[in-house]
Amino acid sequence: MENLDSDLLRSFVIVAKAGSVTEGAAQIHRSQSAVSLQIKRLETILGQPVFERHGRGVTLSETGRRLLPVAQEVTGRLDAIFRDLSKGTITGKLRIGVPDDHGRAKLAQIIANFARQHPQVQLDVTCALSTGFPDALAKGLLDIAIYEVENPGPNEELLFQDPTCWVCTRHVDFSNHANLPVALFDQACWWRDVAIASLEQRAKPYRTVYSSQSVSGVIAAVEAGIAVGLLGRSSLHAGLCVVNESLGFQNTPSSQLVMASGSGKEDEVIHAMKSVIRTAFPITRTDQI
């Protein structure tokens, strides 16, 4: 009987995150041919491809998307038990920043999984608008943080990529509004900057009728039919529709949810938390769904 070897799963996870066999092989210091053979072996065992190949690299197939979160959890747990058994119990304190909107869905999962694996670590969690997280990391106020950027930097690990678009409720037609009502974030942040730049590029009158500190607040305004709002495609549901083309908006950039640690440091506690976070945020690009 064939088995899924953990080494095959590790190579699969790193190639999935890198988007390229060549880049993934470089990150784990193996040859491209060796990693390619591992991926082929994995696909032979499964009887179906885990990647779709193209000129720029690879993307996850349907099988790959189903396998990725399981592979991340399995390898993460193996790493955790190895550290526990070989080095003893991890202890210490960890200060982590989690964005408010992503935190609602993921915070409980992250905390529960980490606490179960490392009960001796004291967690100090900040769940808030993530605009100030990079500065808090730089000043040593946080040890690790999750936040959004347009383009990840060299010390920022991509967790989630979400294309943005202008959205309204299906029950209201805004095409005849001379002064377009919009819902925006009420603080300086990536989402507000992108939305205002898009509105100015559209070069038509608009008015801000609703402000919120969170994505859920903008969604509420859009669902109520009082405004259009810039949202990630992951926030769409059957009651909402994309209005970029009908209202004359150009394409807007994707939101990149990243993870970083303070001053690039990576101790045992941070390494363990990163492993749990990767499991909670398996890489999903909504433009591939």
One DSSP character per residue, 23-79 reads HHHHHTT--HHHHHHHHHHHHHHHTS-SEEEETTEEEE-HHHHHHHHHHHHHHHHHH
Average pLDDT over residues 142-155: 88
Among 46, 66, 47, 51, which Cα is nearest to 14's? Answer: 51
pLDDT per residue over 193-240, tens digit each?
A: 999 999 999 999 999 999 988 888 899 999 999 999 999 888 888 899
**How many other C-beta atoms are found inside a 10 Å radius of the C-beta of residue 84?**
14
Q: Both 267 and 206 in a single domain?
A: no
User: How many structural domains compose the chain?
Assistant: 3
Question: Which structural domain, as residue segments, surrounds residue 115?
Answer: 90-160+256-288
Q: Both 144 and 281 in a single domain?
A: yes
pLDDT per residue over 243-256, tens digit each?
A: 999 999 999 999 88
Q: Both 226 and 186 in a single domain?
A: yes
One DSSP character per residue, 31-42 reads -HHHHHHHHHHH
Collapsing DSSP states into helix, strand and coil, what is residue 143?
A: coil
Which CATH number does the domain housing residue 182 bear? 3.40.190.10
pTM here is 0.63
The verdict on residue 220 lying in a domain is yes
Q: Both 150 and 11 in a single domain?
A: no
Q: What is the CA radius of gyration of the chain?
A: 21
- What percent of the residues of the chain are helix, what percent strand, and what percent coil, each to the nearest 5? 45, 25, 30
Query: How high does pLDDT run on average in the chain?
Result: 86
Collapsing DSSP states into helix, strand and coil, what is residue 276?
A: helix
The verdict on residue 37 lying in a domain is yes
Last residue of a domain, one of 30, 56, 83: 83
Q: Both 248 and 169 in a single domain?
A: yes
Which CATH number does the domain housing residue 61 bear? 1.10.10.10
Cα separation of 262 and 256, whole Å? 19
Q: Both 236 and 179 in a single domain?
A: yes
pLDDT per residue over 19-51, tens digit each?
A: 999 888 888 778 889 999 999 999 999 999 999
CB-neighbour burial class of residue 149 (10 A; exposed 0-12, middle 13-18, buried 19+)? middle
CB-neighbour burial class of residue 93 (10 A; exposed 0-12, middle 13-18, buried 19+)? exposed
What the block records as the tokens of 255 is 């939101």
Residues 183, 185, 190, 193, CA torsion sign? positive
The verdict on residue 103 lying in a domain is yes
Q: Both 32 and 107 in a single domain?
A: no
Among 160-164, 185-189, 255-259, which stretch is predicted with the lowest mean pLDDT? 185-189
The verdict on residue 1 lying in a domain is no
